[in-house]
Amino acid sequence: MSEIFCSVLHLSAPGAQNGENNNLMSIYPMYTRKITHWFARRSFQNRIFLLILFTSTIVMLAMSWYLTDITEERLHYQVGQRALIQAMQTSAMPELVEAVQKRDLARIKALIDPMRSFSDATYITVGDASGQRLYHVNPDEIGKSMEGGDSDEALINAKSYVSVRKGSLGSSLRGKSPIQDATGKVIGIVSVGYTIEQLENWLSLQISSLLIPMAIMLLLLLFCARRFSLHIKKQMLNMEPQQLSQLLIQQSVLFESVFEGLIAIDSDYKITAINQTARRLLNLSQPEPTLIGKRISSVISQEVFFYDAPQTNKKDEIVTFNQIKVIASRMAVILNNEPQGWVISFRSKDDINTLSLQLSQVQQYADNLCAVQHEHRNLISTIAGLLFLKRYNQALELIQQQSESPRR
């Protein structure tokens, strides 16, 4: 026994309690990290679904608690008023007033028994001016003092009220009303009660009637959460956020690295992206954030190329952008068989002309090289023939002539 007492003292000591608190504080972050790690490994679609499910469950639990509390409060109020009305009506019966004055227990029983059979109250009790029971559902309790200590307001102050007390039948919600004679003197009391157990049974019935609608609501929320997560996944092209982020970075780098001007516009012909080359070729001094959201017609003076046959792609058309000749192409962006916008790529026509001239010069140079190579082959063939015919002197003279002639 002393060992147990010592162990209890040890556990109740401040050091032991601090040790337990420290252990709990160290365990809590560990489980939090595990849950966070497990949640982070789920796919984005499943994370959205779990978040909506968790939020919906919390909301449903909060609603359940609120409805239960409101239902219980309303039930107690309604049953209390019912008990009070029954007590006031019973105490006002002239026959009961006369029977209580005469302490006629048989007459009181004859009056209350039919009433109790039609009432849903657990009990109806009648007492005299001193609180002694004149009628009770349990005959053995007749003659004993009423329990609960809540009869003074009715017996002394002649008030009718509702109280919750524990009596011979257990805790109950009871309505009490004084019995008064013709002069207003309190000669007794009527108590009509509903046990807490009975109230809990009624509350369970009312709450159970709400379970099916709430279960249907929860299933509907689960269905909507699943559909919403699938919709989000579809809008993200079945990709994870990390993949989208990486794709966006790659697209941004690729967008700025090409040597052609690139402009992306949406279905409302508003600019969604424009690279540095496009701004340079069009002599646009505004930064990209300023141009984003503007209509393409307010930035580039060209109506036909952008608006003509929007469903048709265009390739390598010579057009004028802001009085600058360019070679432009237009490619539609299609998602779910619906146009989402267009991507316009263009390059300066002067750059194409310069490139064509350079290519022509390269081609001419290649042709000259081919001609020199052909002459060189003919010379080699001639020298080889002279050597084969053993005309060494003629071969030597031909070689000397070629070496003395100016280089081509």
**In angstroms, rounded to a whole number, what is the distance separating the alpha carbons of residues 124 and 112?**
8
Structure tokens, 219: 């299933």
Pick the CATH number of 43-238 from 2.40.10.220, 3.90.550.10, 3.40.250.10, 3.30.450.20: 3.30.450.20
Contact 122, 193 (CB under 8 A): yes
Q: Compute, in degrees rounded to 10, the torsion defined by CA atoms 230, 236, 242, 243.
A: 120
Residue 7, pLDDT above cutoff 50? no
User: What is the structure's pLDDT at 38?
Assistant: 65
- Residues with Cβ within 8 Å of 381's Cβ and at least 6 positions away in sequence, in order, are none
* Distance from chain centroid for Cα 385: 92
Which residues share a beta bridge with 332? Answer: 342
User: What is the structure's pLDDT at 246?
Assistant: 80
**In angstroms, rounded to a whole number, what is the distance separating the alpha carbons of residues 264 and 279?**
13
Strand order in the sheet with 133-135: 133-135, 123-128, 186-195, 170-180, 161-167
Of 8-22, 42-56, 129-143, 321-335, the poorest mean pLDDT is in 8-22
Taken in order 235, 241, 244, 249, the sign of the CA dihedral is positive
Secondary-structure class of domain 249-351 per CATH: alpha beta
Widest CA span of the chain, in angstroms? 172
User: What is the structure's pLDDT at 354?
Assistant: 59
Residue 10, pLDDT above cutoff 50? no
What is residue 275's three-state secondary structure? coil
Q: What is the pLDDT of residues 115-127, one digit of tens each?
A: 888 888 888 999 9
What is residue 312's three-state secondary structure? coil
The pLDDT confidence band at residue 26, using thresholds 50, 70 and 90, is: low
Q: What is the pLDDT of residues 38-80, one digit of tens each?
A: 656 667 777 777 888 788 888 888 888 888 888 888 988 999 9
The pLDDT confidence band at residue 143, using thresholds 50, 70 and 90, is: confident
Residue 11, pLDDT above cutoff 50? no
The pLDDT confidence band at residue 208, using thresholds 50, 70 and 90, is: confident
The pLDDT confidence band at residue 400, using thresholds 50, 70 and 90, is: confident
**In angstroms, rounded to a whole number, what is the distance separating the alpha carbons of residues 294 and 269?**
8
Q: What is the pLDDT of residues 266-312, one digit of tens each?
A: 988 899 999 888 888 888 888 888 899 999 888 888 767 888 877 78
